[in-house]
């Protein structure tokens, strides 16, 4: 009986992990559909995703436009800092814990953008156009305008 419970628990956890991973590869627009934008966890995720996409954009334009690259990384860091602040306020996390979690999340999301950007490059010779990454940039640029 204990083995059955263990197997069911493992299968349940694997399903949760695959659902969580699936959200990373859809556009922010699709992610935000049906989500309460006023909810702290939604805002935190949005800030982390935007921080990641700006870090990705910074790396893409680094060789061709160092000034834009620097601006993108500053935006990325500001967004990450805002996510940390919200985690401290909304989730009552300690500052160090929130910083570490946010940085780890950004690394993971950044890796997804790199992988998907490479796939998109192979498909149409663009890191952004024709992919959810360009949609994410559009949403995140509106977030920046609101500041």
Residue 4 — pLDDT band, cuts 50, 70, 90?
low
Residue 11 — pLDDT band, cuts 50, 70, 90?
very low
For the CA atoms of the chain, what is the radius of gyration?
17
Round to whole Å and give the CA distance between 123 and 12.
35
Among 91, 81, 78, smallest CA distance to 42 is for 91
Q: What is the pLDDT of residue 145?
A: 84
| Segment 46-84, tens digit of pLDDT | 999 999 999 999 999 999 999 999 999 999 999 999 999
Round to whole Å and give the CA distance between 30 and 132.
10
Query: Is residue 7 scored above 70 in pLDDT?
Result: no
**Residue 140 contacts residue 43 (beta carbons within 8 Å):** no
Q: How many domains does the chain have?
A: 1
Q: Ranked by mean pLDDT, which of 16-20, 32-36, 80-84 comes out on top?
A: 80-84
Domain span at residue 83 reads: 2-145
Quote the pTM value: 0.80
Q: What percent of the chain has pLDDT over 90?
A: 71
Half-sphere exposure of 114 (CA within 13 A, CB side): 9
């Amino acid at each position: 009986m204990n083995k059955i419970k263990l197997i069911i628990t493992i299968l349940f956890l694997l399903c949760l992990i695959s659902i969580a991973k699936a959200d990373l590869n859809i556009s922010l627009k699709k992610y935000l559909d049906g989500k309460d934008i006023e909810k702290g966890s939604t805002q935190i995720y949005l800030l982390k995703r935007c921080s990641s996409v700006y870090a990705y954009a910074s790396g893409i334009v680094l060789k061709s436009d160092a000034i834009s690259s620097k601006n993108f990384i500053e935006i990325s860091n500001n967004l990450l800092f805002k996510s940390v602040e919200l985690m401290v306020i909304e989730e009552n996390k300690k500052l160090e814990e929130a910083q570490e979690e946010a940085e780890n999340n950004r690394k993971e999301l950044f890796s997804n953008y790199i992988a998907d950007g490479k796939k998109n490059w192979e498909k149409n010779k663009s890191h952004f156009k024709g992919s959810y990454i360009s949609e994410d940039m559009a949403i995140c640029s509106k977030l920046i305008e609101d500041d």
